[in-house]
Amino acid sequence: QESAELVLLCCAGLESCDSADRRDLLACLLSAPRLAEFLCDSSGELPRACLHRISALAVAAGVSLGSRSPSLARLLDEQLDGKPRQAWLLSNLLTLLERFVLVSGGSQADFPLWLEWICWAKERGPARAPVSEHLGRQLERMQGGSFVRALLQGAASGGPSALLAVCRLYFGAGEEAGAGKPPAEVLQTLAFATPFAAKVFPQLAGLMRSESVEVAF
Q: What is the pLDDT of residue 4?
A: 94
Q: What is the pLDDT of residue 158?
A: 73
Kindly report whether the global pTM for this prediction surpasses the value 0.85. Answer: no
* Residue 90 CB contacts under 8 Å (≥ 6 apart), including other chains: 118, 121, 122, 135, 138, 139
Q: What is the pLDDT of residue 16?
A: 92
Distance CA 140, CA 162 (A): 22
Residue segments in the chain with a per-residue pLDDT below the cut of 50? 126-128, 213, 216-217
Q: What is the pLDDT of residue 152?
A: 86
* Nearest partner of 136 among 183, 98, 185, judged by Cα: 183
Q: What is the pLDDT of residue 130?
A: 56
Q: How far, rounded to the nearest angstrom, does the alpha carbon of residue 79 sit from its chain's CA centroid?
A: 21
Helix (H) or strand (E) holding 79: strand 79-80
Domain limits, the chain: 2-147
Distance CA 196, CA 215 (A): 20
* Nearest partner of 114 among 75, 77, 168, 190, judged by Cα: 168
CA of 27: how far to CAs of 54, 88, 93, 151, in Å?
11, 10, 10, 22
Q: Which amino acid, one-letter code, is at 118?
A: I
